[in-house]
Amino acid sequence: MTFDIAAYLRRVGLKTCSPDLGGLKSLQAAQIGAIPFENVLPFLAKVPVLDPDSLWQKLVIQRCGGYCFELNALLGDALAALGFSARQVLARVRMGAAEGGARTHLAFVVTLDGDEWLVDAGFGGQAPAHPVRVSTGEQQIRDQVYRIRFEESSAEHVLERKTEDGWFPLYGFDRVDVRHADIEAANYLCATSPNQSFAASMKFYRLTETGFISFLDGRARLVGKDGKREWQIRDVDELTGFMRQDIGLGYGNDVIEAIAERLKQLRLTPAPG
């Protein structure tokens, strides 16, 4: 399909986007704010389809969201259409661990005026709202501080977020050539493996102008300039309102009812051990 950049920009709420650093920052934040991170399909035992037509229908026309292989595939098409020089990278998620597992996260490295920038609209919570320069220097992005350090032992660049306890590694990526087959395999692994969280937990995340809205297995959270609020989503009606109004997803009633039923089953299932 021919990528309709005008329709995409309308979907993410931008009138224009220039192929420079300012445009790149606006683009990443706009997509994270308009197209939420969510794993509805894996949670309902389905593997997301990654061909461009299917992604366009789901993310743009139906106004649903997705996880990294969906969200960043769409972002990659937009980067190409806008004239950015972007290269795919597959990352090993760490989330505080000393090293990552399989390459299960898709992102991009964009080169601008000789500098490299990590561009990612598909990681969900704790991810930066704007691109991060591939550099060990600290970078303030909204109310968080990030850096990307090179790790000799793994030959990976590691994205880290600064916390009260020190630097927290989010994921590490290398420069191995990424092929379509690699992405298909990682997508299938993420959607079906019991060792990944996507099939076992329901997650939503959307960036706002002053914070974010998130959800994990029935627990909703709003963080913004007026503070934090947490509440429980208790039934299908509350879930419908939250998904459509707070997160901005276009799923039909049948899908929302299926999510509510699966969440109910999770609550009723005794914890192992």
Give the catalytic positions in this structure.
68, 105, 120
DSSP structural state of residue 177: P
Distance of CA 129 to the CA centre of its chain: 11
Query: What are the φ and ψ backbone dihedral angles of 224, each rounded to 5 degrees?
Result: -155, -170
Q: How far is CA 44 from CA 55, 146, 256, in A?
A: 18, 34, 10
Q: Report whether 14 contacts 27 (CB < 8 A).
A: yes
182 CB-near residues (< 8 Å, 6+ apart): 90, 103
Query: What are the φ and ψ backbone dihedral angles of 48, each rounded to 5 degrees?
Result: -60, 140
What token pair was written down for 176? 């191995």
Q: Is 107 exposed, middle or buried (0-12, 13-18, 19+ CB in 10 A)?
A: buried
Strand partners, 223: 212, 228
**Cα separation of 79 and 256, whole Å?**
32
**Cα separation of 175 and 26, whole Å?**
25
Task: Provide the strand spans (E) within the chain.
Answer: 37-38, 85-93, 103-112, 115-119, 132-133, 139-141, 144-151, 156-163, 166-173, 203-207, 212-216, 219-224, 227-232
